[in-house]
Amino acid sequence: MKNVLFIQLMICISLWAISCSNPKHTDSDILWDQEKLPKEDNPSWTELFSQSYKLVPLETNDTCLIGQIDKIKKFKNHYYIASSGNSLFHFDEQGNFISALTQKGAGPEEFIRIEDFEVYEVNGKTEIWISDNQSIKSFDAFNGQFLYKKSFPFTIYKFKRLNNSHILLVTGQNEYILTLVDENCQVLKQYLKKEIPYLMFRPVQFPQYNDSYLFQLGLANEFVSFNPQTETFNQGHYTSNPNYLSTNELLEMFNSKGTDFVRSANQMNYLCNFYGLKDKIWIHSNVGGTNYLSKIESGKMITSTQFSYGSILATAFTGESDDSILLYILPEQQEECNQALSLNGEQLLKLDANDNPCLLEFF
């Protein structure tokens, strides 16, 4: 009898060990459970995003001419726009120009390029933090004055400062992709062994979903979530749909095709980008070579539409805001906007050819 109980106990321990080493994915780590692929539903923009929106034309003058938009950040109803890798412009809630950061150079108070930026309130002052690959430098958001620098022994690509002053980093020249450091830049934790195809840089590298920040593994249907309250990492899947590119397929393509693996990925279905706001999610996917923008609510796909690069809808993943989804409209795109949002044919936008873009914000 004792031998039987011992054997049963050993079997239970073995099964437990197998289940731990090969964790099964549960509903808690799948953002939406849907087997169907997106299709063209021809939704209106208000159906795709929200009935509530506003247009914010940005002031245009010689000191704030915006080039290619790299990233938009809304903070305390002000807008911060990184442009062409080397400039950052600050506008108020009406689109009036406030200040600019253009200190390109290798000096101690300059930046070589803007790899990433964020805006925070630190000790009652609004600061702009800029990553230039070599360090993170802080500037006053209103007068552009250099404040201080944080240095690291590795390359910094993207970052997110937490409420407790710890910083989550996407790093290079390092064994791991994700690194958590304290306010003194001392490493606290590292996660996710480096795989080159996982390093796909995005304007918003850590989109928020519920209480966590998500980091997508390249173009795969998988993410690493980071909980800033517990400072723990976990992994999950965006969707249960098996038709999207997996991490195993992604790594196999890289091993066989090298840096040309993206061209092979274009022959498959994959997820390009993600944005979450309250109980809704927007997903950019590539299905059969066609780009789709889909709205997910309560774990179900509500509607989808096709779009092309160079369109207004293609800008939906460039901005970050706590209460809205941000897009932008170039002067040559204003007719597209007028047709999409005008109810009775009125001209909502009147931009001149050399004007700065207009922000389109859905709440």
The pTM (predicted TM-score) of the whole model is 0.90
pLDDT value at residue 7:
39
CB 173 within 8 A of CB 156: no
- Of 166, 176, 164, the residue nearest 136 (C-alpha): 166
Q: Is 338 exposed, middle or buried (0-12, 13-18, 19+ CB in 10 A)?
A: middle
Is residue 20 included in any domain, yes or no?
A: no
* Band (29; pLDDT cuts 50, 70, 90): confident
Mean pLDDT of the chain: 91
| DSSP assignment letter at 197 | G
Q: What is the mean pLDDT of residues 12-24?
A: 37
How far is 347 from 200, CA to CA, in rounded Å?
38
Q: What is the CATH number of the domain that holds 219?
A: 2.120.10.30
CB 91 within 8 A of CB 76: no
pLDDT value at residue 345:
67
Question: What domain range includes position 305?
Answer: 29-362
- Of 317, 227, 275, 229, the residue nearest 29 (C-alpha): 227
Is residue 223 included in any domain, yes or no?
A: yes
CB 362 within 8 A of CB 325: yes
- Of 164, 101, 110, 160, the residue nearest 134 (C-alpha): 110
Is residue 23 included in any domain, yes or no?
A: no
How far is 100 from 248, CA to CA, in rounded Å?
44
Is residue 13 included in any domain, yes or no?
A: no
* Paired strand residues for 309: none
Q: Is the dihedral of CA 208, 125, 128, 161 positive or negative?
A: negative
Token pair of 284, please? Answer: 């950019």
* Band (34; pLDDT cuts 50, 70, 90): confident
| DSSP assignment letter at 153 | S
Is residue 241 included in any domain, yes or no?
A: yes
Collapsing DSSP states into helix, strand and coil, what is residue 61? Answer: coil
How far is 337 from 49, CA to CA, in rounded Å?
14
Is residue 17 included in any domain, yes or no?
A: no
Token pair of 5, please? Answer: 């109980």
pLDDT single digits (tens) 288-335: 999 999 999 988 999 999 999 999 999 999 999 999 999 999 999 999
How far is 168 from 292, CA to CA, in rounded Å?
30
Is residue 247 included in any domain, yes or no?
A: yes
Q: Which amino acid is at 115?
A: E
Is residue 14 included in any domain, yes or no?
A: no
Domain count, the chain: 1
